Amino acid sequence: MTRLGRWLALDRQRGSLFLWVPVCLGCGIGLYFLLPVEPDRRDWLLLAGAIGAGAVALAAGLWHWPLFGGLLLVGIGVGLAGLRTDMVAGPTLDFRYYGAVQGRIVTIDRSASEKTRLTLDRVVLERTDPARVPLRVRVSLHGAQDWIDPKPGQTVILTAHLSAPEGPVEPGGFDFRRMAWFDRIGAVGYTRTPALLIADAPDGQIVARLRTRIGAYIRATLPGETGAVATALTTGDRSYIGAVTMETLRASNLAHLLAISGLHMGLLTGVVFGALRLVLVAVPRVALRWPTKSLAAVGALAAAAFYLALSGGNVATQRAFVMVAVMLTAILLGRRAVTLRAVAVAAVIVLCLRPEALTEPGFQMSFAATTALVAVFRWLRGIPGLPRRGILGWIVALIISSAVAGAATAPFSAAHFNQIAQYGLLANLLSVPVMGVLVMPAAVLSAVLAPIGGAWIGLWLMAIGIDWILGVAHWVAGLGGAVIAVPAPGPAALPLLAVGGLMVMAWNGVGRWVGVIPLAAAAGLWMVHDRPALLIDPGGSLVGIMGPEGRVLSKPRGAGFAARVWLENDGDSADQPTAAARQGWVDNTFAFAGQTVHHVYGRGWEARARAMCTEQTIVVTTGDLAGTGPCLMFDETTLARTGAVAISRQHSGIRIKTAIGEASRRPWTGYKSPDQAIRGEEVGDRIAAAMP
């Protein structure tokens, strides 16, 4: 143990133990989200007692700080996540609703089908008990919607179809219900009738009105996609950007330039800080009597706060503001701004305020990039002869930062979005400097000149940079093999990757290379993770079976979201019509693992389904059949109790998983009593027992 302690350099970790505070908090938060059942009041009281006793023991010196302090932080992380879950709790619609919906517009965005989508609060549902009405609903606007120009703060009424947020489209997959729970969205749906304005935004919503006016002015001055991108960069409203442009930016790994996150907040505050300090230093009386560096930091912090409010204050922007605020505060206190400790402080604040952020790709990618950049440039400070000043030093720093940030975020991007932009480094090298040198300074210039009517000058300069970035995106996306599809990893891959990466970057001494072990384990688990051979969507309207060319879908249209998710998780870049045209399905029938799978839908479905329900067959249908017969029947009633179904081949036969059987009994899943989840598990067991 003594040798191991020396090799791990435990005595050298004293000064960097704080770096592991957010790691321990994150472990506790992750543990909370892995629990199969929501803790009850007794469990929370026991946890609170254990935390209190542990804190007293640590304060009295009875426990060793590094080990037991870490365990205490894990417990605090569990408690923070549970507290946040209770704070955002609200009703979830437990029935299908069709009727009038009234509410105030909170946010406006676009759905995957390019439809305008409104998130409403202060919701009123016709003939519905207020106690059952969700705190927020999200509605997609279909059909002609020319009656109003939606703006945040307006009160609208529309006739909509609403239902509870849907569960995963495959067992163990992404559960939209959890994300909706923490966004306080208790129902989602759509309307095909016009949305009507009841009341305009109140006069008190100055920031919302300012956002709307700025966005309208930018789009009037810079038409087309250039104006849409400029609006996104200044106000955070991406709803005007076309689907083709978004796909091009994703394929070139430049979509992150649209999200107002750490890059934009850092560039903005850097420009403001540098400009203010230059102006203050230029006045000798001020430069000799006042702390110009601190004054510039205060001004940059005020600019960052204004940018946060103007952009709508989404989660990514809040996280970026916290990171920038921590670093500017370090400048005010006379400390080094860019350190791993500053990154750790920002992570602790974000996790305390929004524990659920740990599971989101934005949090994972932004802190992975920031941590890697700080660690790498700290290591590079000890390398002699490396250019650090002038144009050459700037070019070297740009190349290194782009490569490091791309490498740090690539695994998380691949895991969440199932693709890697092969030429992303090239696109970022050609675009990020333009963003920093031209686009963001021009945005600041436009804001400064706006009171005297000169905003158009900044926007004109901004347009030059945006057009360059869009041109780079189109060129890179058009290169052969620009996008590589990647299959989804197993559930343990990303946690192992994070632990290994943090060990390598934050541990002092040779012991950091222990982190290579979990990194290798994550890569190995990712490569050997198998995808289910057969998938059935929760409504029974789509079946996908793995064939020699990839997954073969039973229909070229319908259940498009499930089809897209299945193919993306397979690492398959094909679209639904292409996947449906592959060989395998013949007259809605597929031979699978010694069984015959029938997907029955359309006119005369009931008679055909009953005729096909024989031994050694699997029948999937959207209808409801009383009694299953000798076949394995997935009809409306069965799927309502199982959710999505996944069937995998095994040496002894097949293994069946159901979404409800895999789900935990948590507030966001809707399984409020143990019996509901047990029935779902029993359905899965009964199905498995019925198979040979």
Question: How confident is the model over 479-506, as pLDDT tens digits?
Answer: 888 888 889 998 889 999 999 999 888 8
Mean pLDDT of 607-634: 83
- The pLDDT value recorded for residue 678 is 34
Split at pLDDT 50, 70, 90, the class of 691 is very low
- The pLDDT value recorded for residue 319 is 75
Alpha-carbon distance 74 to 28, whole Å? 4
Count of domains forming the chain: 5
Alpha-carbon distance 269 to 252, whole Å? 26
**What is the maximal distance between C-alpha atoms in the chain?**
94
pLDDT in tens, 439-449: 888 988 998 88
Q: Using CB atoms within 10 A of its CB, is residue 176 exposed (0-12), middle (13-18) or buried (19+)?
A: middle
- The pLDDT value recorded for residue 606 is 83
Alpha-carbon distance 161 to 228, whole Å? 30
Based on the domain organization, do 553 and 638 belong to the same domain?
yes
For residue 187, being part of any structural domain is answered with yes
For residue 8, being part of any structural domain is answered with no
Based on the domain organization, do 293 and 326 belong to the same domain?
yes
SS3 content of the chain, % helix, strand, coil (to 5): 55, 15, 30
Query: Between 607 and 187, where is the model more confident?
Result: 187
- Asked if 361 contacts 409 with a C-beta cutoff of 8 angstroms, the reply is no
Based on the domain organization, do 622 and 680 belong to the same domain?
yes
Strand-pair partners of 121:
104, 136
Both tokens of 578, joined, read 């292409």
Split at pLDDT 50, 70, 90, the class of 680 is very low
Q: What is the CATH number of the domain that holds 122?
A: 2.40.50
In the predicted structure, residue 613 carries a pLDDT above the cut 60: yes
Split at pLDDT 50, 70, 90, the class of 679 is very low
Based on the domain organization, do 324 and 433 belong to the same domain?
yes
Mean pLDDT of 336-344: 81
In the predicted structure, residue 308 carries a pLDDT above the cut 80: yes
CA-to-CA separations, 565 to 198, 488, 560, 663, in angstroms, rounded: 38, 10, 9, 18
In the predicted structure, residue 508 carries a pLDDT above the cut 80: no
pLDDT in tens, 311-330: 776 677 777 888 888 888 88
In the predicted structure, residue 677 carries a pLDDT above the cut 60: no
Based on the domain organization, do 60 and 123 belong to the same domain?
no
Based on the domain organization, do 427 and 296 belong to the same domain?
yes
Mean pLDDT of 339-357: 89
**CA 634 from centroid of its chain's CA atoms:** 32
Domain extent at residue 631:
534-690
Mean pLDDT of 599-620: 86
Both tokens of 637, joined, read 């009633």
Q: Specify the DSSP class assigned to residue 389.
A: S
CA geometry: angle at 258 spanning 256 and 263, to 5°? 60
Residue type, 288: L
- The pLDDT value recorded for residue 692 is 39
In the predicted structure, residue 417 carries a pLDDT above the cut 70: yes
- The pLDDT value recorded for residue 475 is 94
In the predicted structure, residue 119 carries a pLDDT above the cut 90: yes
pLDDT in tens, 377-390: 888 877 777 776 77
For residue 11, being part of any structural domain is answered with no
Query: Between 593 and 22, where is the model more confident?
Result: 22
Based on the domain organization, do 139 and 278 belong to the same domain?
no
pLDDT in tens, 126-137: 889 999 999 999
Task: Give me the chain's average pLDDT, please.
Answer: 85
Split at pLDDT 50, 70, 90, the class of 206 is confident
- The pLDDT value recorded for residue 125 is 94
Split at pLDDT 50, 70, 90, the class of 120 is very high
For residue 326, being part of any structural domain is answered with yes
In the predicted structure, residue 682 carries a pLDDT above the cut 80: no
Alpha-carbon distance 444 to 430, whole Å? 22
Mean pLDDT of 500-522: 86
Based on the domain organization, do 83 and 104 belong to the same domain?
no
- The pLDDT value recorded for residue 472 is 94
- The pLDDT value recorded for residue 7 is 57
Query: Between 337 and 427, where is the model more confident?
Result: 427
| Range from 9-13, 162-166, 672-676 carrying the lowest mean pLDDT | 672-676
What end-to-end distance do the CA atoms of the chain give, in Å? Answer: 52
> How many C-beta atoms lie closer than 10 Å to residue 336's C-beta?
10
Based on the domain organization, do 475 and 507 belong to the same domain?
no
The number of residues making up the chain comes to 692
Based on the domain organization, do 33 and 126 belong to the same domain?
no
Based on the domain organization, do 513 and 468 belong to the same domain?
no
In the predicted structure, residue 113 carries a pLDDT above the cut 80: no
- Asked if 418 contacts 569 with a C-beta cutoff of 8 angstroms, the reply is yes
Q: Using CB atoms within 10 A of its CB, is residue 197 exposed (0-12), middle (13-18) or buried (19+)?
A: middle
Tokens 């934050």 belong to 506
For residue 209, being part of any structural domain is answered with no
In the predicted structure, residue 349 carries a pLDDT above the cut 50: yes
- The pLDDT value recorded for residue 683 is 46
Task: Give the residue among 303, 305, 299, 381 at the shortest CA–CA distance from 336.
Answer: 381
In the predicted structure, residue 673 carries a pLDDT above the cut 50: no
In the predicted structure, residue 676 carries a pLDDT above the cut 50: no
Split at pLDDT 50, 70, 90, the class of 654 is confident
Is 0.75 topped by the overall pTM? yes
Query: Between 268 and 543, where is the model more confident?
Result: 543
- Asked if 262 contacts 370 with a C-beta cutoff of 8 angstroms, the reply is yes
For residue 269, being part of any structural domain is answered with yes
- The pLDDT value recorded for residue 674 is 43
- The pLDDT value recorded for residue 481 is 83
Mean pLDDT of 191-204: 84
Based on the domain organization, do 446 and 348 belong to the same domain?
yes
Mean pLDDT of 221-248: 87
- The pLDDT value recorded for residue 594 is 77
Mean pLDDT of 248-269: 79
The DSSP-derived string for 193-216 is S--EEEEPPPTT-HHHHHHHHHHH
For residue 292, being part of any structural domain is answered with yes
For residue 194, being part of any structural domain is answered with yes
In the predicted structure, residue 219 carries a pLDDT above the cut 50: yes
| Range from 408-412, 525-529, 572-576, 625-629 carrying the lowest mean pLDDT | 625-629
Alpha-carbon distance 304 to 274, whole Å? 14
Decide which of 54, 87, 120 is a domain's last residue.
Answer: 87
- The pLDDT value recorded for residue 73 is 92
Split at pLDDT 50, 70, 90, the class of 204 is low
- The pLDDT value recorded for residue 218 is 92
Task: Give the residue among 445, 437, 446 at the shortest CA–CA distance from 465.
Answer: 437
- The pLDDT value recorded for residue 179 is 92
Query: Between 33 and 406, where is the model more confident?
Result: 33
Task: Give the residue among 112, 114, 109, 167 at the shortest CA–CA distance from 138.
Answer: 109
Split at pLDDT 50, 70, 90, the class of 628 is low
Alpha-carbon distance 178 to 358, whole Å? 13
